Amino acid sequence: MTITKAEALTANMFHENNAHNSDGSCVRWRRNGRTKVWKTKPNRFEIPVKYGMRGYWHITNLNASEFHLAEDCTNEKKGTW
């Protein structure tokens, strides 16, 4: 699963594909700002996200394949937030 640019503009919660918490649920990242897009590079996007108290990252068009949307999660232990 991967995140498309259209999904990146609207979604607020993202799950990491290959990382799990100690209870088996997916690692959950939440939006921490506005999605950045470029006019000259229409496929490029950057979403600032946060995990826990101090974990910050950016989901970009280059690493979007490592994440999926919370509503598309197939893990039986989705976790709640």
In SS3 terms, 62-74 reads as CCHHHEEEHHHCC
pLDDT (tens digit, 9 = 90+) per residue, 35-47?
A: 999 999 999 999 9
- Total domains in the chain come to 1
H helices of the chain, where? 5-10
The pLDDT of residue 80 is: 57
Other C-beta atoms closer than 10 Å to the C-beta of 58 total 14
Q: Nearest-CA neighbor of 3 among 31, 32, 33, 40?
A: 31
For residue 23, the enclosing domain spans 5-72
Domain for residue 31, yes or no? Answer: yes
pLDDT (tens digit, 9 = 90+) per residue, 9-68?
A: 899 999 998 888 888 888 999 999 999 999 999 999 999 999 988 999 999 999 999 999
- pLDDT of 81 > 70? The answer is no
Q: pTM of the prediction?
A: 0.82
Domain for residue 60, yes or no? Answer: yes
Domain for residue 81, yes or no? Answer: no
- CA-to-CA distance for 46 and 78, rounded, in angstroms? 25
